[in-house]
Amino acid sequence: MPTTTEPHITPAVTPVSPQPERTPDPCVVVIFGASGDLTKRKLLPALYHLEQANLLPKDFAVVGVARRPLEDSFAADMKEGIVAGGGVEESDPKLDPFVDKIQYHAMNFDDASGYDALNKLLAEIDKQFGTCGNRLFYLATAPEYFSDIINFLGQHGMSKPCVGPSSDGKKNWVRTIIEKPFGHDLDSAKALNDEVNKVFDEDQIFRIDHYLGKETVQNILVFRFANGIFENVWNRNYIDHVEITAAESIGIEGRGPFYETAGALRDVVQNHVMELLSFVTMEPPVSFEASAVRAEKVKVWRAIQPIHPADTVRGQYGPGTVDGKPVIGYRQEDRVHPRSQTETYAALRLEIENWRWAGVPFYIRAGKRLAKRVTEITIQFKKPPLLLFKGKDGSKADVQPNIISMRIQPDEGITLRFGAKVPGQGMNISPVNMDFNYAESFGKSSANGYERLLLDAMLGDGTLFAHRDGVEATWALITPILKAWAEKPVKDFPNYAAGTWGPTAADALLEVEGRKWRKL
Ligand SMILES: NC(=O)C1=CN([C@@H]2O[C@H](COP(=O)(O)OP(=O)(O)OC[C@H]3O[C@@H](n4cnc5c(N)ncnc54)[C@H](OP(=O)(O)O)[C@@H]3O)[C@@H](O)[C@H]2O)C=CC1
Ligand SMILES: O=C1O[C@H](COP(=O)(O)O)[C@@H](O)[C@H](O)[C@H]1O
């Protein structure tokens, strides 16, 4: 397809620098699961990026909590993670002073005495670093520990704000960020919500989905609601269908035991993909307040019709080739059952039964070891009611519909495809692209999504976090599919080779309706 570089979109103004009022109160971030992959690769680099941007409070500290005795090596290990995972120079002048604010506390999550010792350490840190009793407990652990940690924090009086050690008599704040997956199905999500709500009030709880921290995801709302032209056509009258693809070329990266209990539906569809879907389809909220945004998201999730098993496809990758290199199949991965029934790919067709979307099909696919890494939302519009012109090959069938494609990652940007006259004597048309590219317009960002969310939690802003109603609404959609799949084991797994676009049955999902997945 020919691609124009004109007209080109450049920012009308230089991007604004961070607003000073976004600096949080003095506080300590306590990370449970601090020797884990997430902390080293994502959380510490994100905190450091905030420090570099002068967005952290001056009085600040981090306490890492995990089982192994790492007191002597933890800070140095985190420094290594910041350099490797955060694209930071080792000589960066802010790095060593930041690392000096990191401490480690070894304990077993199910040992009550460890929480007493942690509480004492936090009181010491308040004195040493001036963190005023404000605490953000980040649960970066396997989900089976969430309720234990929450309950122990409650039993040790660590979950409720009290008059802090600062001399102004102000109450401190205590908040918790809880990683995904939040529950395993609808019942377990409800039970976890009940447990957490016994210990923390809802406004203290920040259920994280790092997709909501991505600039491109937040920009879906800006694209729709800050521009006068798109929202008018954002409905069933103009839109033919919507596709959401969350494709990864990586496999399970050594996370066999976790992935065996999860699968693609639980790992990414119930959370990341459902969040994307809600941003594309929700009604405009009355404000950008947490309660207003969350209410609209929940409304649209609840308007999704029960998804029929016939409208679902599951897949599992076998051996194949990715980026020119041979890779093993899922069943050969470390600590994966050799006859595993876990899906590494899921595709769904769903409909939203409301005034705006009735009759518009939404096609969703997500999977591992696919042909490339790309997360993209495609809005395909209906063709004009009367086709006056022919396509390049001289036939009207060759006229391509308009699409808006939102590239969440990589190569972040938005493209509008429209028809243009092919130069010459005829009146033939050819599709061309109007393109917005983030990196060209705003420069390449090193943010990984966690920066924004960590800062929001420190500021007490829950807009970009999941509410209990939202978590339960998405599990209510996914749980019946999980049950239907569990009752009907698959006979043809593995059914796609690593490095391809997934099982052929996923193509059929669209083909029976005369459509095709967009080639990405
Ligand atoms: N990794 C990623 O990219 C992503 C992860 N997540 C979520 O983040 C969470 C953490 O993931 P990840 O970092 O990969 O997990 P890891 O398995 O790498 O880390 C687990 C951590 O928990 C600690 N731990 C385990 N059991 C105990 C125990 N009984 N007592 C004390 N500490 C214990 C481990 O400490 P020790 O080493 O001392 O045993 C380790 O620090 C999960 O919920 C995951 O779903 C979400 C999105 C992406
Ligand atoms: O939460 C998860 O997300 C990652 C994908 O995140 P991205 O930011 O790299 O798109 C996925 O690989 C992982 O399995 C899942 O647990």
CA of 211 to the centre of ligand 2 (A): 9
Region 93-115: mean pLDDT is 95
Is the predicted pLDDT of residue 334 greater than 80, yes or no? yes
Which ligand lies nearest to the CA atom of residue 41 in the structure?
A: 1
Does 8 carry a binding-site annotation?
no
Checking if the pLDDT of 14 tops 70, the result is no
* Residue 248 known to bind ligand: yes
| Of the candidate ranges 250-254, 263-267, 312-316, 394-398, the one whose mean pLDDT is the lowest | 394-398
Residue range 249-268: mean pLDDT, rounded: 95
pTM above 0.80, yes or no: yes
Residue numbers annotated as active site: 272
List, for residues 416-462, the tens digit of each pLDDT value: 999 999 999 989 999 999 999 999 999 877 678 899 999 999 999 99
pLDDT at 12 over 60: no
Residue 443 confidence (pLDDT): 87
3-state secondary structure 95-150: HHHHHCCEEEEECCCCCHHHHHHHHHHHHHHHHHHCCCCCEEEEECCCHHHHHHHH
Q: Please check the confidence at residue 330 and state whether its pLDDT lies above 80.
A: yes
Asked if residue 35 belongs to a known ligand binding site, the reply is: yes
- Domain boundaries defined on the chain: 20-208, 212-384+464-511
Q: According to CATH, what is the number of the domain 212-384+464-511?
A: 3.30.360.10
pLDDT average, residue stretch 366-390 = 95
Q: Ligand 2 mean position to 142 CA, how many Å?
A: 15
Q: What is the CA radius of gyration of the chain?
A: 24
Count of alpha carbons within 13 angstroms of residue 446, beta-carbon side = 17
Hey, what CATH class is 20-208 in?
alpha beta
State how far the Cα of 152 lies from the Cα of 109, in Å rounded to an integer: 9
Q: Nearest to residue 207, comparing CAs of 254, 251, 143?
A: 143
Does the pLDDT value for residue 2 go beyond 50?
Answer: no
Ligand 1 pocket test: pick from 42, 63, 67, 70 the residue with the most ligand atoms within 8 Å of its Cβ.
67
Query: Which two structure tokens, joined as six digits, stand for 171?
Result: 């109450």
Cα(143) to centroid of ligand 1, in Å?
A: 9
Q: Is the pLDDT of residue 99 over 90?
A: yes
| Dihedral sign computed on CA atoms, order 364, 370, 374, 380 | negative
Task: Answer whether 366 contacts ligand 2 (Cβ < 6 A).
Answer: no
Query: What would the pLDDT profile of 457-514 be if each residue is shown by its tens digit?
Result: 999 999 999 999 999 999 999 999 999 999 999 999 999 999 999 999 999 999 999 9
How is residue 424 written in tokens?
């010459």
pLDDT at 423: 94
| pLDDT the model gives residue 1 | 40
Q: In this model, does residue 3 exceed pLDDT 50?
A: no
Question: From ligand 1's centre to the CA of 18, what distance in Å?
Answer: 31
- In the predicted model, what is the mean pLDDT of residues 56-60? 95
DSSP conformation class of 500:
B
Does residue 208 line the site of ligand 2, with CB under 6 A? no
Tokens at residue 454, please?
Answer: 């960590």
Instruction: Verify whether ligand 2 is closer than 6 Å to residue 267 (CB atom).
Output: yes
* Per-residue pLDDT tens over the stretch 212-245: 999 999 999 999 999 999 999 999 999 999 999 9
> Residue with the nearest Cα to atom 7 of ligand 2?
211
Tens of pLDDT, residue by residue over 128-158, are 999 999 999 999 999 999 999 999 999 999 9
Around 485, how many Cα atoms within 13 Å sit in the side-chain half-sphere?
Answer: 23
Return the ∠ at Cα 151 (arms to 146 and 153), rounded to 5°.
100
Q: Is 214 annotated as a binding residue?
A: yes
pLDDT at 4 over 50: no
300, pLDDT greater than 60: yes
* Of 29, 34, 33, the residue nearest 61 (C-alpha): 29
Q: What is the pLDDT of residue 19?
A: 52
Reply yes or no on whether the pLDDT at 198 is more than 50.
yes
Q: Copy the structure tokens of residue 250.
A: 């990586």
Count of helix runs (H) and strand runs (E) in the chain:
15, 19
Q: Looking at residue 22, what DSSP letter applies?
A: G
Atom of ligand 1 nearest to the CA of 143: 43
- Average the pLDDT over 369-395 and give the result: 93
- Rounded CA-CA distance 176/199 in Å is 11
Whose structure tokens read 């039993």? 155
* DSSP strand pairing (174-178 vs 205-207): parallel
195 assigned ligand-binding residue: no
Find the 73 Cα to ligand 1 centroid distance in Å. Answer: 18
Nearest protein Cα to ligand 1, atom 46: 180
Report whether pLDDT(6) > 50.
no
- Read off the pLDDT of residues 388-418 as tens digits, 9 standing for 90 and up: 888 888 888 888 999 999 999 998 999 999 9
Mutate which of 141, 182, 209 for ligand 1? The one with the most ligand atoms within 8 Å of its CB, which is: 141
Contact 305, 295 (CB under 8 A): no
CA 310 from centroid of its chain's CA atoms: 27
> For all residues of the chain together, what is the average pLDDT?
92
Percent of the chain with pLDDT over 70: 94
Q: Which of 146, 154, 166 is nearest to 201 (CA)?
A: 154
Across 84-88, 295-299, 344-348, 359-363, least confident range: 84-88
Res 191: pLDDT: 96
Backbone angles phi, psi at 100, to 5 degrees: -65, -15
**Mutation choice for ligand 2 from 179, 245, 248, CB with most ligand atoms inside 8 A:** 248
268 C-beta closer than 6 A to ligand 2: yes
**Coil, helix or strand at residue 430:** strand
Q: Give me the pLDDT at residue 5, please.
A: 40
210 assigned binding-site residue: yes
ipTM over 0.95? The verdict is yes
Take atom 14 of ligand 1 and give the residue whose Cα is closest.
37
